[in-house]
Amino acid sequence: MVSVSTPKDESRKTAPHKNGSGFNLGTYIKDVRNEAKRVTWPTRRNTLITTGAVLAMVTVTCIFFFIVDQVIGLGVRELFGVGG
């Protein structure tokens, strides 16, 4: 999970007032870098655990839907005599 925190020594700043100057690429890149510094990135261990959990759930879901598909196919074959 990614969370954003504000450093204790920095107070919240108000949004800059628009003066009609338009988009400033330099200011945008500086702001993006400042925001990226505030992001709390997950540790390698947390990433591996989360990835493992996702892969396990995908595997369980695939097996579940395979079984359900086989049962429905069997029912259709028995009911209508089609499908092999």
* Per-residue pLDDT tens over the stretch 29-57: 999 999 999 999 899 999 999 999 999 99
Residue 70 reports pLDDT greater than 60: yes
pLDDT averaged over the chain?
Answer: 85
Contact predicate 83/77, CB 8 Å: yes
Distance CA 24, CA 45 (A): 39
What is the pTM assigned to this prediction? Answer: 0.55
Q: What is the full DSSP assignment across 14-37?
A: PPPPP-S----HHHHHHHHHHHHH
Contact predicate 84/77, CB 8 Å: yes
Query: And the tokens for 64?
Result: 């579940």
Q: Kindly indicate the confidence band of residue 18, based on its pLDDT and cuts at 50, 70 and 90.
A: low
